[in-house]
Amino acid sequence: MSSAPEPSAPSYEGYRILTLHAHPDDESSKGAASIAKYKAGGATTVLVCATGGEEGDILNPALDRDEVRDNLKLVREAELADAAKIIGYDTVIMLGYRDSGMEDSEANKNPECFWQAPVDEAVDKLVEILRIHRPHVFVTYSDDQQGYRHPDHLRVHDISVPAFELAADASYRPDLGPAWSVSKMYYTTWARSRLVALHEKYAELGLESPYTEDWFKRPDQDHRVTTRIEIGDYFHVRGAALKAHATQVDPESPFWFGLPDDAARDAYPYDDYIMGRALVPIETPETDMFAGIVLGEADAIVLTDSASE
């Protein structure tokens, strides 16, 4: 008797996903495997990076040199381009702001930094990008960032919600392009269950876990997770993309690379997301960010809005 044929992988031809991140390397540490999976299925993928990452510490001792420190913005942009290629982003857009550094630092007071930029200005930049690239799914940062309150991460959320709404408003700034309604907006998150699973895997293998007690004092967001993407076949992408950020990621780091890829994948082969907004019917929990989006119907939203302008 012949065996049943293998089920075909889902096709995402015609679908578009856009992610907004604060700094070069954030796109690799948060949801890289999800993007790789959707790209492999045929989706169009766009990355928007808010800042140049100028305030990032050089965490790789091999690159802690004067010529790197003196040209860190250019170095980090080149690293971002390499990482984006590994992940599978079709387009990379720099929002154009300077890294704000941590709260109350001198960098946080720089008038060119993201935190000091007029919010309306940054929102309009994002509205224009959403209207040009017309994503069906928009991935950004959460409304609850108690675990890590970096000013640039906070500002990413601050501009995302109004941009999501205004991009669909045909009466708002028609000079920024025809209105476009993003069907779904998600917040990327590291679930507590992920930390626990990885922590236990370290113990199982007799390795020292980098997840100290402080990690487990962070607010537990698991009850908010609506969407869990199985990314086992693309798990390796995150590590490869992180290593492209050679100034920011020490290839010997036990935090990023302390577990073998196969062990980490077996422990937790998922990327987790929180539903922020949805303009289409949804059923949670989800296993696909494009679930519920019908291409013809999604495109009809923008056609209707464009015709009314």
pLDDT in tens, 35-82: 999 999 999 999 999 999 998 888 888 888 888 888 888 999 999 999
Q: Say how far apart CA 246 and CA 25 lie, in whole Å.
A: 10
**Contact at 8 Å (CB) between 40 and 68?**
no
Q: Say how far apart CA 290 and CA 269 lie, in whole Å.
A: 19
How many whole angstroms from its chain centre is CA 200?
A: 26
**Contact at 8 Å (CB) between 197 and 267?**
yes
DSSP 98: B
* pLDDT of the residue at 145: 75
Retrieve residue 6's tokens.
Answer: 């293998």
> Exposed/middle/buried for 252, CB within 10 Å: 0-12, 13-18, 19+?
exposed
Question: pTM here?
Answer: 0.92
In the three-class reduction of DSSP (H, G, I as helix; E, B as strand; rest coil), residue 200 is classed as helix
pLDDT tens-digit series, residues 83-99: 999 999 999 999 999 99
Kindly list the domain boundaries of the chain, sorted by start residue: 16-308
Retrieve residue 265's tokens.
Answer: 């994948």
What is the arithmetic mean of pLDDT over 107-124? Answer: 95
Structurally, at CATH architecture level, domain 16-308 sits in 3-Layer(aba) Sandwich (3.40)
Retrieve residue 138's tokens.
Answer: 């928009």
> Which spans in 205-253 are helix H?
235-244
* Residues in CB range of 191: below 8 A, 6 or more apart: 221, 222, 225, 270, 272
How many whole angstroms from its chain centre is CA 13?
A: 21
